[in-house]
Structure 1
Amino acid sequence: MIRFLDEIDKIIDYILRNDRFIVTSHINPDGDNIGSSIAIYEFIAGLGKDVKYVLDDDYPTNLKFLLDEKIKNKSNDILDRGQTIIALDSGDYSRICIDNDILEKATEIICIDHHMTNGEYSNYKYIDTKASSTCELVYNLIKRYEERFEKMIISEKIATSLYTGLITDTGNFQYSNTEVSSFIMAADLMTRNADKNKVIQNIFQSNTLKFYKILGESLSKMEVIDEKISIIIVTNEMLLKNQVAYDDIDAITPYSRDIEGVELGIFIKEKSVGEIKVSLRSKNYVDCTKIAKAFGGGGHIRASGCTITDVSVDEAREMLIAESKKHI
């Protein structure tokens, strides 16, 4: 049974009443970010609305298969103002990856998200922290539209985009956020011609040799603290040496957690000097959101992130170890 039907119906009715939309999401795009964005973009475009997909960030190589050139816009491409913004998978207003001038002059902001730390920055919102992914919420919204208006809307493109976000946010159905509804959704998308093989090959089977070299280097330097906390570090120097883009190393993250006896995995990524990105993953009892919040971040209980600025990698490491020990 779909939760929050009133909120879903309000968003559907708003979309039907209005004509100009911009779809966007959070910085550092991932599968759920891009998958949900493209799905809602295709849905609204199919209704005959004026809609653009805008994201002021680079796309990971393994997700570019979802993108058509016509929908890859940046804020500089948007000359007018006053559209409705649909912000997907953005747990905080500050993480919405679009120019502030466009945000501030928006007619309305619609928030569709599943993060616990969502600030509820919108009058129109569909926030379900129990959902596996934002793609699951977009799927529910489109299914509700189909039910109300007795129309089949989910195309192969929409189905493939939604399937991408579902399997990336559930770790291909491994993570604790995987529910019965996740499998029901996957089965339905398969009947709608979601290209499962294309998704699997691009997400899990297309890493470059350079990626595996930096993976090997980072794993050789992995450390375990007090048998419960593991840390993997990728520095900017390592990225340059291996000629790997910063946006293409997120697949390393689970290795920090997937060690026997380890409860908390920390993946430290140096994006630039003084800018340290951190991914946190836990297995059973550590609430990653509490650690992330200590550094201005957020996310989910078992998967969160944050950015630490104006410190070195070693300083960030010490800060994270000290905070993490409070929760072990």
Structure 2
Amino acid sequence: MELKRIADEIKEAQNIVLTIHVNSDGDCIGAALALMLILDRYNKKNFSDKIYKMKNVRLVLDDKLPKFMEHFKERALVEYYPNFQMENIDLLIAIDSANIERIGNAAELRKNAKKMINIDHHISNTKYADINYVENVSSTSEIIYRFLDLFDIELDKEIASFLYLGIINDTGNFTHSNVTPETFLISSELIKTGIDNSEITDVLFGVTLGKARLLGEVYRNFEIDKELKFAYYYLSDKKAEELKIGRDETDGMSETLLDLVGIEASLFLKDEKEEKVKGSLRSKSSYDVNEIGMSFGGGGHKKAAGFNTAENPEKVIGKVKEELKKQLTKQ
């Protein structure tokens, strides 16, 4: 019912702004662009002879797009804060953002919005909007897929490409435990449109030279707590500069550590701007890393979570170990 309510709110609105989280990934971008395209089709289907009634839908981001978006012409649809301006916003819709801080300075747009909607799949979501739809599924893109029926829009290749991008991003190309039969059913419908799923996968997961250098560094110098079955690595700004690593080339390192045989939890830490560090936590079956992420003001899912903190890396690693020990003793 809540999704239908959101669809009804969108149908009634004229000026709509979509926004996504900083350090954007394939799911938030894919979900937002897919929704934008669905609403574009809705405009053309219902208001082709009444242009003045067409919805004004825009997508704004308080960050740079990741490098893989260079492969998609639709990147031109994304606008950037603070250069973005719109008065009299009827709806501000945050997509794939577990808390309002995740959308960065774009949160300032709420002051000009009559209503805010939050659509997300993270169980740590703080339900910060006027209307919140949070469901623990593989990805926010899986949720956005349902808007096709709600707006009576036929799935096409362009929409399918972005939904597929989002789903494979958050399922690790269908390798994570968040994959369900429904995820596969939706993905099969997306592939039926003729999308090049192999190309989308290569764009998202292809290994650049910088990432190859980082993989070598991580494999040589990661550390393990054998008792906790916990692998971790900290990437300093100095080391990143030495290896000539771009910001996007660190994605997936926590999964790389978790793939080690015998490891049940992993942490990849890296320096961020403003003297903060960003942590990416992953687990298999025994640990709940969402709880740990939330202890640093972040969160996500039981088996995948993230956070940003001003604490120094050594303290962060120590605190994560303490939390893992607490969970281990309860098992």
Q: TM-score, normalised by structure 1?
A: 0.91
Once the two structures are TM-superposed, the CA of residue 94 in structure 1 deviates from its matched residue by 1.6
Of 84, 92, 103, the match for 1:96 = 103
Deviations 1:232-278 (A, max 9, x none): 22111121112212232112220121122211111111124631100
Look up the equivalent residue of 1:19 and give its one-letter code: Q
- Separation (CA, whole Å) in 1 of partners of 2:61 and 2:114: 19
- Separation (CA, whole Å) in 1 of partners of 2:197 and 2:270: 30
- Separation (CA, whole Å) in 2 of partners of 1:273 and 1:240: 17
- Separation (CA, whole Å) in 1 of partners of 2:73 and 2:100: 24
Do 1:58 and 1:247's aligned partners in 2 also have CA atoms closer than 8 Å?
A: no
Distance verdict in 2 for CA 1:163–1:26, change over 3 Å: same
- Separation (CA, whole Å) in 2 of partners of 1:272 and 1:315: 18
Deviations 1:192-235 (A, max 9, x none): 23331221110123x22121012211221111102411102211
Do 1:276 and 1:316's aligned partners in 2 also have CA atoms closer than 8 Å?
A: no
- Separation (CA, whole Å) in 2 of partners of 1:231 and 1:157: 39
- Deviates most, 54-63 or 181-190: 54-63
- Separation (CA, whole Å) in 2 of partners of 1:16 and 1:195: 32
Report what 2:216 is aligned to.
216
- Separation (CA, whole Å) in 2 of partners of 1:108 and 1:135: 22
Of 102, 109, 112, the match for 2:116 = 109
Report what 1:251 is aligned to.
252
Do 1:26 and 1:96's aligned partners in 2 also have CA atoms closer than 8 Å?
A: yes
Once the two structures are TM-superposed, the CA of residue 64 in structure 1 deviates from its matched residue by 3.4
Look up the equivalent residue of 1:32 and give its one-letter code: D
- What are the equivalent positions in structure 2 for 1:1-328 lying under 5 Å apart? 6-48=1-43, 49-66=55-72, 68-83=74-89, 84-129=91-136, 131-146=137-152, 151-152=153-154, 154-205=155-206, 207-227=207-227, 228-272=229-273, 274-309=275-310, 311-328=311-328
Look up the equivalent residue of 1:179 and give its one-letter code: T
- Separation (CA, whole Å) in 2 of partners of 1:113 and 1:66: 23
- Separation (CA, whole Å) in 1 of partners of 2:104 and 2:192: 33
Look up the equivalent residue of 1:53 and give its one-letter code: L
| SS of residue matched to 2:113 | coil
Deviations 1:83-124 (A, max 9, x none): 211111111122124433312221111111111111112233
Percent identity between matched residues is: 29
- Separation (CA, whole Å) in 1 of partners of 2:261 and 2:276: 31
Q: TM-score, normalised by structure 2?
A: 0.90
Unaligned runs of 5+ in 2: 44-54
Look up the equivalent residue of 1:138 and give its one-letter code: I
Look up the equivalent residue of 1:14 and give its one-letter code: E
- Separation (CA, whole Å) in 2 of partners of 1:107 and 1:46: 24
- Separation (CA, whole Å) in 1 of partners of 2:211 and 2:248: 11
Look up the equivalent residue of 1:292 and give its one-letter code: G
Unaligned runs of 5+ in 1: 1-5
Do 1:287 and 1:302's aligned partners in 2 also have CA atoms closer than 8 Å?
A: yes
| SS of residue matched to 1:68 | helix
| SS of residue matched to 1:326 | helix
Once the two structures are TM-superposed, the CA of residue 56 in structure 1 deviates from its matched residue by 1.0
Report what 1:3 is aligned to.
none
| SS of residue matched to 2:302 | coil
Moved over 6 A (4+): none
Distance verdict in 2 for CA 1:69–1:63, change over 3 Å: closer
- Separation (CA, whole Å) in 2 of partners of 1:22 and 1:261: 45
Say what the alpha-carbon RMSD is for the aligned residues.
1.7
Do 1:296 and 1:307's aligned partners in 2 also have CA atoms closer than 8 Å?
A: yes
Distance verdict in 2 for CA 1:325–1:274, change over 3 Å: farther
